């Protein structure tokens, strides 16, 4: 087995990148366990690889004792001295074992370990290869289906495309080639698993980068995406160069550039929105194609806004089943309250009436308070006047008493 073993170890190291020392240690452990199982669990065994011969040698270890109770683990001092006159009680002696019926077991253990290491290494290689594509687009082939997933062949592995990651209404056939967004790659006990999506907003971003060089190199930057896959998306863009029109660059002449993305997503509608640092302007832009009269932001309620639109634009601003305002709220990260111009005037009137009512209540309350305070002051003045008169009378009586006392002293 020596030549075959050395050849196998060399192949693993050169072609698979599995270090020989790792495999040797694993085989030693496997053969030790196999020997103990075959010849008794209590057996003290060591398996050592001979690097020169390319073979494994098996040793049992016995302790030198006065009286032997288990010959598999112990050797008497007399027998030990016959081997070497320097042995003493407590010494450990190794004996090489060459069981004829263990060769097949040893070969099987070594083969099993090598195969296991190869599988582990292949899993690691596949994981490292596909983890590089996490958050990127890959092109794959539809392979098969089950109740939960469409399995997409990406070369060395089948990726999983779940129902929630599929675009509603898209139909696939075996061998169809599709672009997918790789959003998660993980190592499991079953090996590497790759999860892909067609509905993820980042798929749209990667498609723009793929089709439009200015987006790929950062000249035009995508600031946000809100998407209801297969139906409609809003994409906020800004130019990082003064002489470059962000929207025009993305759309292309006659819509030539954006149409390639729309075609890839089977007709998904695209609203390209110009970025603005002013959130009010950005909100107005995001509600297009509806026109906006004004956006009211309240510092006391951040991330909320009232949006006033002409009466005839209300349904357009809200959109079918609320889609337009829902996407606009998502892409601007604001809660939007859409009001028609006439409804907003009614709203202002209601707010004004409410303020007037509150002012009247406050004035009435102040009047009551002032009346009460005046009564208290008057009562205090009367009380203080009575106390002053009493004090003056007491002062006169004291002066008369002093005069009487002086007269008595003089007499």
Looking at the structure, do residues 117 and 66 belong to the same domain, yes or no?
A: yes
Question: pLDDT digits over 72-94, tens only?
Answer: 788 999 988 999 999 999 999 88
Q: Are residues 210 and 87 in the same domain?
A: no
Give me the half-sphere count of Cα atoms (radius 13 Å) on the Cβ side of residue 265: 29
Residue that terminates a domain, selected from 218, 241, 275: 275
Which residue, chain included where needed, has tokens 């550039």? 257
Q: Which residues pair with 153 in a beta bridge?
A: 141, 158
- Please give the pLDDT value at position 204: 95
The kind and range of the H/E element at 61 are: strand 55-65
The whole-angstrom separation of Cα 278 and Cα 249 is 22
Give the pLDDT confidence score for residue 202 in this predicted structure: 95
- pLDDT tens digits, 48-66: 887 777 777 888 888 999 8
Q: Are residues 113 and 157 in the same domain?
A: no
Q: How many CA atoms lie within 13 A of 175 on its CB side?
A: 0
d(CA 185, CA 201) in angstroms, rounded, equals 18
Judge whether 155 and 126 are in contact, CB under 8 Å.
no
Q: Which residues pair with 76 in a beta bridge?
A: 65
Same domain, 226 and 304: no
Max alpha carbon distance in the chain (Å)?
Answer: 152
Does 124 lie in the same domain as 156? no
Residue 87: CATH number of its domain? 3.30.1480.10
Question: Residue 58 sits in which domain range?
Answer: 2-128
**Is residue 179 within 8 Å of residue 138, measured between CB atoms?**
yes
User: In b/e form, how buried is each residue of 73-110, taking b as 16+ CB within 10 angstroms?
Assistant: bbbebeebeeeeeebeeeeebeeebeeeebeeebeebb
Question: Residue 366: exposed, middle, or buried by beta-carbon count in 10 A (0-12, 13-18, 19+)?
Answer: exposed
Which of the listed residues 128, 145, 171 is the one where a domain comes to its end? Answer: 128
Domains held by the chain: number? 4
C-alpha pair distances (Å), 8 with each of 2, 27, 108: 10, 13, 14
CATH number of the domain at 376, please. 3.30.300.20
Residues of the chain with pLDDT under 50: 409-411
Residues 148 and 174 in one domain: yes
Rounded to whole angstroms, the Cα distance separating 109 from 58 reads 14
In this structure, the answer to whether residues 7 and 111 fall within a common structural domain is yes
Q: For residue 376, what are its two tokens?
A: 């208290």
Is residue 124 located within the same domain as residue 138?
no
Question: Do 289 and 407 have their domain in common?
Answer: yes
């Amino acid at each position: 087995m020596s030549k075959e073993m050395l050849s196998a170890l060399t192949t693993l190291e050169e072609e698979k990148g599995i270090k020989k020392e790792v495999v040797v240690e694993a085989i030693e452990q496997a053969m030790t366990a196999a020997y103990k199982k075959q010849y008794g669990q209590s057996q003290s065994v060591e398996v050592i690889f001979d690097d020169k011969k390319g073979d494994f040698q098996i040793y049992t270890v016995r302790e030198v004792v006065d009286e032997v109770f288990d010959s598999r683990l112990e050797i008497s001092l007399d027998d030990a001295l016959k081997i070497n006159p320097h042995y003493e009680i407590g010494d450990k002696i190794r004996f090489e074992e060459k069981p004829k019926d263990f060769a097949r077991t040893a070969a099987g253990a070594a083969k099993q370990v090598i195969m296991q290491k190869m599988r582990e290494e292949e899993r690691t290689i596949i994981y490292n290869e596909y983890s590089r594509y996490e958050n990127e687009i890959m092109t794959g082939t539809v392979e098969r289906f089950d109740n939960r997933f469409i399995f997409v062949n990406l070369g060395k592995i089948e990726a999983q495309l779940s129902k929630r990651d599929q675009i509603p209404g898209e139909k696939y056939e075996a061998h169809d080639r599709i672009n997918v967004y790789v959003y998660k790659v993980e190592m499991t006990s079953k090996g590497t698993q790759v999860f892909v999506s067609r509905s993820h907003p980042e798929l749209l971003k990667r498609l723009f980068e793929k089709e439009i060089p200015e987006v790929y190199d950062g000249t035009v930057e995508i600031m946000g995406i809100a998407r209801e896959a297969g139906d409609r998306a809003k994409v906020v863009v800004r130019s990082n160069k003064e002489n470059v029109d962000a929207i025009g660059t993305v759309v292309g002449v006659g819509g030539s550039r954006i149409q390639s993305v729309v075609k890839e997503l089977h007709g998904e509608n695209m609203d390209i929105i110009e970025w603005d640092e002013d959130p009010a302007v950005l909100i107005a832009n995001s509600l297009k194609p509806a026109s906006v009269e004004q956006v009211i932001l309240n510092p006391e309620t951040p991330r909320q806004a009232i949006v006033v639109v002409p009466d005839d634009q209300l349904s357009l601003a809200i959109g079918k089943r609320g889609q337009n305002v829902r996407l606009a709220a998502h892409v601007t990260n604001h809660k939007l309250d859409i009001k028609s111009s006439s409804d907003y005037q009614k709203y202002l009137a209601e707010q004004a009436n409410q303020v007037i009512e509150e002012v009247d209540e406050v004035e009435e309350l102040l009047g009551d308070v002032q009346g009460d305070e005046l009564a208290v002051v008057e009562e205090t003045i009367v009380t203080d006047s009575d106390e002053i008169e009493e004090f003056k009378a007491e002062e006169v009586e004291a002066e008369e008493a002093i005069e009487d006392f002086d007269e008595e002293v003089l007499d």
